[in-house]
Amino acid sequence: MALEVGAKAPMFTLPDDKGNKFALKDYKGKKIILFFYPKDMTPGCTTEACDFRDNLSRLKRKKCVVLGVSKDSVARHEKFRDKYELNFPLLSDEEGKVCEKYDVWQEKKLYGKTFMGIVRTTYIIDEKGKISHAYEKVKVKGHVDQIIEDLSS
C-alpha cells in the first residue's frame, strides 16, 4: 500500500548522484515528483528515467522538481546519469530506509520466485509537504504524460 494522498511526506536526507547531501526539507515550497524505481541500467527503469529526462521542461513549467530514488550506490547512479544524460538528481537509498518510509519496499514475484524489492511508485509532494498524488505499480509507458495531465487538472 502506498502512502495515502493527504498524508505528510516523510522527511529524509540521502546522497545524490554527485555525492552531495539532498534533504527533502530544503525543497519545502516546491512541488516534487519523487519516483522510486528498482534498478539503474535495467530496461524499464532506463525507459522511465529517460521519459522524465525528455519531459523535464514540461514538468518544470508545472513548477516541479523531479527526483529518482533507488537502492543503487552513488557510483552506479553517476554512471546511469552520465550514460543516459539524465538532467535531474538520482538519490541513493542503499540502506532502504526511505523506501520503507514511503512503503515501496515490498514483496514481489517474478518467474514464480518471491523476493523483496522496490515496487515502481511515484509520489507528487505538494508545496506544503503533503502527498497530492500517489501512483502505485507504475506502468512506464505513458506515466509521465499521466502525471502532466493530472497536474493540469
Q: What is the DSSP string of 101-127?
A: HTT-EEEEEETTEEEEEE--EEEEE-T
- Using CA atoms in the order 122, 128, 130, 135, what is the torsion angle rounded to 10 degrees? -20
The mean pLDDT of 56-83, rounded to a whole number, is 96
The mean pLDDT of 55-82, rounded to a whole number, is 96
The mean pLDDT of 33-47, rounded to a whole number, is 95
Residue 132: exposure state from Cβ atoms within 10 A (0-12, 13-18, ≥19)? middle
pLDDT digit string (tens) for 7-21? 999 999 999 999 999
Q: Which of 45, 50, 64, 99 is catalytic?
A: 45
Q: Is the pLDDT of residue 2 over 80?
A: no
CA distance 21 to 134: 25
Specify the pLDDT at position 110.
84
Specify the pLDDT at position 153.
79
pLDDT digit string (tens) for 116-133? 999 999 999 999 999 999
The mean pLDDT of 89-110, rounded to a whole number, is 95
User: What is the percentage of the chain residues whose pLDDT exceeds 90?
Assistant: 93
**Domains of the chain, CATH where assigned:** 31-152 (3.40.30.10)
Specify the pLDDT at position 27.
92
Could you confirm whether 45 is annotated as catalytic?
A: yes
Question: For the sheet containing 31-36, what is the strand order?
Answer: 90-92, 64-70, 31-36, 121-125, 131-135
Q: Is the pLDDT of residue 1 over 90?
A: no
pLDDT digit string (tens) for 74-97? 999 999 999 999 999 999 999 999
